[in-house]
Amino acid sequence: MAFSEEDVEKIANIITDSKYFIVFTGAGISTESGLPDYRGPEGVWTLREKGLKPKLPRKPMHLIVPNPSHFAIFDLYKLGFLKYLISQNVDNLHIKSGIPIEILAELHGNSNRMKCLTCDTRFLKSEIEWDDYIHGKGYRTEMPHSNQPRCPHCNGRIISSVVNFNDPMPEKEMEDSEKHSRMCDVMLVVGSTLSVFPAANFPIIAKNSGAILIIINMGDTELDRLADIRIEAKSGEILPQIINKVKLIS
């Protein structure tokens, strides 16, 4: 454990003193749920760049559940501190933990959600009876299958909400993330190497707008130089301790 009780108390005090606190998460927050990250030492892209085969999730995706990190962030929402959550993750675990979709920007989409290419309405796969085995993944760059469900609102083409390489970023999520990054006085970054842009611009925007920037990650990040507090720790170990301290002092 590379953090101290003093670190926990300092971060808890910053959160409880904040006026507009937001969180930014990356794949590292989900490794304790059994999912590989992307840019860590054993990450998907790290291994591929070395010519090695990436590790697979420990369980089928539908059996992957939130871990203490996700529930700690949800606790911050329930306690009234968390105003907005920006995530690079497509694993649906923040929503499974209880975070309302209204305060969540999933910058790279959600593997469980589809969207209309025309009117941008979002759907759970179950809502439109989308079956990957029958209809395919529905990625933007794939040729649509004739049997794929159409948008019930405008009859537009439905695609996966997941943002793949060379896909455009989702406009609403990007606009909302920039707005909240400029509004916040504290941003907590958890489990991201902050090496993927344009997502990694948001901590920069927050910092340039006067926010306190806290980074918790296993391994270096591209923005460590900007952090007011930088902690090397597993999120599932430190975040529950921070929550317990927040509950004591709030």
62 annotated active-site? no
Task: Compute the 3-state secondary structure of the chain and give helix, strand, coil in percent, each to the nearest 5.
Answer: 35, 15, 50
| Residue 94: partners with Cβ closer than 8 Å, 6 or more residues away | 25, 66, 70, 73, 74, 85, 87, 104, 106
Q: Which strand (E) or helix (H) includes residue 86?
A: strand 82-87
CA distance 183 to 198: 18
CA distance 36 to 55: 7
Number of residues that this document lists for the chain: 250
Burial of 238 (0-12, 13-18, 19+ CB in 10 A): buried
Q: What are the two backbone dihedrals, phi and then psi, of residue 115, each rounded to the nearest 5 degrees?
A: -145, 155
Which of 70, 94, 108, 180 does the annotation list as catalytic?
A: 108
Q: Residue 161 has what DSSP assignment?
A: S
Show which residues are catalytic.
108
